């Protein structure tokens, strides 16, 4: 088993959200900021050798809107979209973390099984951009992009209030 470790500082986030509701309809909005500029380097240690990859990421912002519709007392449908800006640029992007702007769109349903338990089913499409790379260092130039940079997420959960 090799002696391998990595070190990465994750950002702090500030998110402000709003919910406005009318009888069966809920409007949701959020704005956020992530302190990605704290994540300056990734450090990989393998058997006593350390490699430092400079990232020089910048802070990002997030905007999102969504809604909920309560069909019955027990059945709720929800949908939303959001946008996150990119923490890096084409000239600084690295292939190990090809972060670009992110656009999310999701839909879900919730059903109250009993007073303390809710069944939820949701789907989210996440577009991660093209994540173009044109990074020139003293070692040469790394150039390319990720043409299929997306994710589909399905979730089924039971939430229990204790």
Measuring CA to CA, which residue among 131, 162, 124 is closest to residue 148? Answer: 131
For residue 102, the model assigns a pLDDT of 93
For residue 21, the model assigns a pLDDT of 93
Residues 6+ apart with CB under 8 A from 83: 62, 63, 64, 101, 102, 103, 104
Coil/strand/helix, residue 96: coil
Q: Is the pTM of this model over 0.75?
A: yes
Measuring CA to CA, which residue among 137, 134, 136, 161 is closest to residue 145? Answer: 134
Return averaged pLDDT per consecutive 10 residues of the chain, 162 residues in all: 71 94 95 90 79 84 97 94 93 81 96 92 94 83 85 94 86
For residue 135, the model assigns a pLDDT of 83
CA distance 100 to 150: 11
């Amino acid at each position: 088993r090799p002696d391998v470790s990595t070190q990465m500082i994750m950002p702090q986030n500030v998110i402000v959200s709003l919910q406005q509701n009318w009888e069966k309809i809920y409007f949701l909005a959020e704005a956020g900021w992530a302190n990605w500029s704290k994540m300056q380097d990734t450090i990989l240690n393998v058997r006593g050798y350390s490699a430092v990859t400079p990232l020089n990421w910048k802070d990002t912002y997030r905007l999102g809107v969504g809604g909920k519709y309560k069909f019955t007392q027990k059945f709720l449908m929800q949908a939303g979209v959001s946008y996150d800006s990119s923490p890096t640029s084409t000239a600084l992007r690295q292939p190990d973390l090809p972060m670009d702007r992110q656009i999310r769109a999701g839909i879900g349903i919730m059903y109250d099984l009993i007073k303390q338990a809710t069944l939820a089913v949701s789907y989210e499409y996440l577009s991660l951009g093209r994540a173009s790379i044109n990074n020139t260092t003293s070692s040469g130039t790394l150039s390319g992009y990720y043409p299929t940079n997306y994710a589909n997420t399905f979730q089924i959960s039971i939430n229990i209030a204790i």
